[in-house]
Amino acid sequence: MSPEDIVITAGVSEGINFIMASLVDKETEVLIPSPTYPLYKNFIAFYGGTPKYYRLIERDGRWCIDLESLEENITEKTVAIVIINPNNPTGMVIPKEDIEEIGRIAEEHGLLIISDEIYDRIVYDSTFYSTASLIKDVPIIGLNGFSKTYLVTGWRIGYMYFCNFDSNRLRDAVLKLARNRLCTATPFQKALADTINIDDSHISEMITKLRKRRDYTLKLIEEVEDITCSIPEGAFYLFPKIETEGEWKDDKEFSRKLLLEEKVLIVAGSGFYMHDKKHVRIVFLPPEEYLQEAFERLFRFIRNHKSKIA
pLDDT of amino acid 200:
82
Question: Could you give all domains of the chain from N- to C-terminal order, each with its CATH number?
Answer: 3-198 (3.40.640.10), 202-306 (3.90.1150.10)
Asked if residue 146 lies in contact with residue 152, where contact means CB atoms within 8 angstroms, the answer is yes
List C-alpha distances in Å: 263 to 27, 227, 285, 291, 297.
44, 19, 17, 13, 8
The torsion region of residue 192 among left (phi > 0), alpha (psi -120 to 50) and beta comes to alpha
By CB atoms closer than 10 A (0-12, 13-18, 19+), residue 39 is middle
Strands 78-84 and 29-34: parallel
pLDDT of amino acid 309:
46
Closest CA to 278 of 208, 231, 227: 227
Low-confidence residues of the chain: pLDDT under 70: 307-310
The length of the chain in residues reads 310
Which tens digits make up the pLDDT trace of 150-205?
989 889 999 999 999 988 899 999 999 999 998 899 999 999 888 888 878 889 99
pLDDT of amino acid 308:
55
DSSP per-residue letters across 148-174: TTTT-GGG--EEEEEES-S--HHHHHH
